[in-house]
Structure formats: structure tokens, C-alpha cells
Amino acid sequence: MISSSVIGNGTISVPTVDEVDIKVTKEASTFTPELGGTVVYTMSAQNLVDDEDATFVVIEEILPDGVTYVSHTTTGGSYDLGTGLWSIDLLEAEEKVELEITVLVNTVDQI
């Protein structure tokens, strides 16, 4: 868990971080997409620590050139297409959440 510690007269706040271990994976529904077809990218974030929650987890997922965003779903947190950031406010001990992004393939040369 991330928290803040006050140093001195209370004018400086320094973030402190307890030990966290987050596993992030990414898979694609196909490695040989067809032009005009769709690909689903599935990302997961899992807190591997059994006794500490992780807070304010942010994972960057920028879509590659050659695809157009269609939709997304997530089992935890929120995804901002404009910034490419998947923000997870709370990832509890041993919890796993997923983000699925569906894209339309515009070219097979660049993805």
C-alpha cells in the first residue's frame, strides 16, 4: 500500500511504498490477423503479495499503429483511450483483474 509520511514541520510529504509485486501479462487473440478483422488484446494485472493491497496502480497500454479502437471491458479499474492508461485504484492481495481491448485491423504490416 502506498501512503504519505510527514517530515519536519509538516511542509514536506514524501510517498512511502510497502513492498508490492504485481505481475502484468498481455496476450493477443491472434498473431496472424486478417485485414478488416478484429484482434482482442487481453491484459491482466495480478497482485502476487498475499497480505498487502496495492493502490493507485497505473499500466500504460498504447495501441499500435495499424489498428482502430473498437471497444474495451475491464474487471477492475478504468482504461482511458486518450492517454492509454489503465488505472486500478485498488488491487487487493492476490487479486487479478483483466482489461480486454478489441481493435479493427487496418493493415497487417505494422501490428
Cell of 37: 478483422
Burial class (CB in 10 A: 0-12, 13-18, 19+), 86: buried
What is the spatial distance between Cα 27 and Cα 49, in angstroms, rounded to a whole number?
A: 23
Q: Which amino acid is at 36?
A: G
What is the spatial distance between Cα 76 and Cα 87, in angstroms, rounded to a whole number?
A: 9
pTM confidence score: 0.81
Task: Give 9-61 pLDDT, tens digit per residue.
Answer: 444 544 555 678 999 999 999 989 999 999 999 999 999 999 999 999 999 99
Task: Give 50-86 pLDDT, tens digit per residue.
Answer: 999 999 999 999 999 999 999 999 999 999 999 999 9
